[in-house]
Structure 1
Amino acid sequence: MRPVADMPLETAANITILFADIDDTLTHEGRLPGCAYQALEDLMKAGIAVAPITGRPAGWCDMIARMWPVTGVVGENGAFYFSYDEAARKMRRSFAIPAETRAKDRERLVSVRERILREVPGAAVSADQLYREADLAIDFCEDVPALPRGDIDRIKQIFEEEGGVAKVSSIHVNGWFGEYDKLTMSKRFAREILDVDLDAGKDRIVFVGDSPNDAPMFGFFPNACGVANVLHFRGQMEAEPAYVTQKEGGFGFVEVAERLLAARRARAGAA
């Protein structure tokens, strides 16, 4: 992982889309700094399409898609994307799995939930679970005392033993049934909303993240960036970002935004 300041100016100036995780990437210690929100505004005004790619629930994502300066949002680790059409005053929602299947899967997750809570003392269902459409989020440090790494791994293992998929974020273990992740839904979002083929255009896209559930995105995008707290997971991820910031969380995200915007200004000044 190289410093984000080492991203070549020409590479940075050519970025047209920025995807970013939310928790501990846009936020810092559980809050969204004003400078990070302003960075989202500045990127959109500069013509860079912005979309959060998060494990957070559908209820949150509806609000984010409506009210934040973003083109859309991918939520619940790829279960769906939401994109608000301001001109039509209409939310576009696209899910990886049909509603009937999601309902059945939620019933299956009840027994998984009970097993996890029984076998991993100290774990808890996340406070945002009521607002979810497709997955089960188990809190290991957001609103409960932090669990040891072995317990976090055990939660993930239980999901997998029950036939599910599980991803570890900086605060939750998210589990679901179905073959999707952040990257698969990001590709659909880009194709259907941005009219962009991610496979062909990934050199012009930056993803910013912080934790192991971002590994598919880190591995796919050659110019992916990690905020400094990603270093806590060094050696624990299947893929690491190409670049890393000096600061953590939302303050690190601002570093990435400033690099992209400064490169655009430099190119405009040289024209």
Structure 2
Amino acid sequence: MSSLETLKQHNILVLLITGRSAGWCQGLVNYLPVLGIIAENGGVYALKESQRMKPLTAINDIIEHRQLLQNNFEEIRQKFPHLQPSSDNQFRVTDWTFDCHECSQDELLTIEKICQQKKWGFTYSHIQGHLKPLNQNKANGLTTLKETYFPELSYSEIMTVGDSPNDESLFDKNLFPMNVGVANIAKYLDRLEHQPGYITNLSESDGFCELVQLIITSIN
């Protein structure tokens, strides 16, 4: 929280981008010192000024969409019966999640191939796997918000930060030339097509705080 406050004091806008559910993020954006939040890996967003979740992925019938996601998950679970749906699915709009911290890399790759065959997207973090619309990712969500609300910004003025495979699209230097991986991304590097341009020394929240200090030092 203190690092976010520090960035705000230096007039550096922060937009959170996460795989967490729309319901969880709608509460989070209310009390953090951030511009807004993109949830569900680019599926929905909320700006602090409105505090209302809005779609980034067009879904005509949410009930039908969620049923299709669940059906796809149940088909995958026939092959991997140990998979368990995440408890936050009831708060999601665009994607379907399952706990994946015990999944092997081979299992995750197989799940990705199954999703590709069925024209669904798939990504994962260290805690959850996400079944989602094919072109839904964090970079597409961020690009949409940038073009809608901040057309005056150049992409070279945007720094993206990530620490998991579901952040890979944010490491695409052709879109975001200034991108950073927090140190715990290191164990996934051999699986990523897009590699972070810089990696912090510290992991998780400590890595983010390290990055903030580097930014503030460079300004001062």
TM-score by length of 1: 0.75
User: Is 1:177 aligned to 2:133, yes or no?
Assistant: yes
What is the aligned partner in structure 2 of residue 74 from structure 1? 38
* Aligned residue pairs, count: 218
Greater CA deviation, 68-77 or 102-111?
102-111
The sequence identity of aligned pairs, in percent, is 27
In structure 1, what residue type is equivalent to 2:48? Answer: Y
Check 1:160–1:197 CA distance in 2 against 1; reply closer, same or farther (3 A cut).
Answer: farther
Residues 227 and 245, structure 1, Cα contact 8 Å, conserved in 2: yes
- State the superposition RMSD in angstroms: 1.7
Question: Post-superposition shift, 1:116?
Answer: 2.0
Q: Can you give the 5+ residue segments of structure 1 that lack an aligned partner in the other structure?
A: 1-36, 266-271
In terms of mean alpha carbon deviation, does 214-223 or 251-260 score higher?
214-223
2-side partners of 1:165 and 1:113: how far apart? Answer: 12
For the residue of structure 1 that corresponds to 2:196, the secondary structure is coil
Pair 1:207 & 2:160 matched: yes
> How far 1:98 sits from its partner (Å)?
3.8
Higher RCO (CA-CA < 8 Å; seq separation 6+): 1
Residues 112, 158 of structure 1: 8 Å contact kept: no
TM, length-normalised to structure 2: 0.92
Q: Return the alpha-carbon distance in structure 2 between the equivalents of residues 99 and 226 of structure 1.
A: 31
- What secondary structure does 2:191 align onto? coil
Q: Which amino acid aligns with 1:169?
A: S
Question: Could you say which residue in structure 2 is the equivalent of 1:38?
Answer: 2
Q: Cα deviation per residue 1:181-230 (whole Å; 9 max; x = unaligned)?
A: 2111111222333x2356xx121111110122212110132121111111
Q: Look up the SS of the partner of 1:224 in the other structure.
A: strand
Which structure: larger Rg? 1
Q: Secondary structure at the match of 1:235?
A: helix
Matched, 1:136 2:92: no
User: Which letter maps to 2:199?
Assistant: V
Gaps of 5+ in 2: none
Give 1:216's aligned residue: 169
Letter matched to residue 113 of structure 2: Q
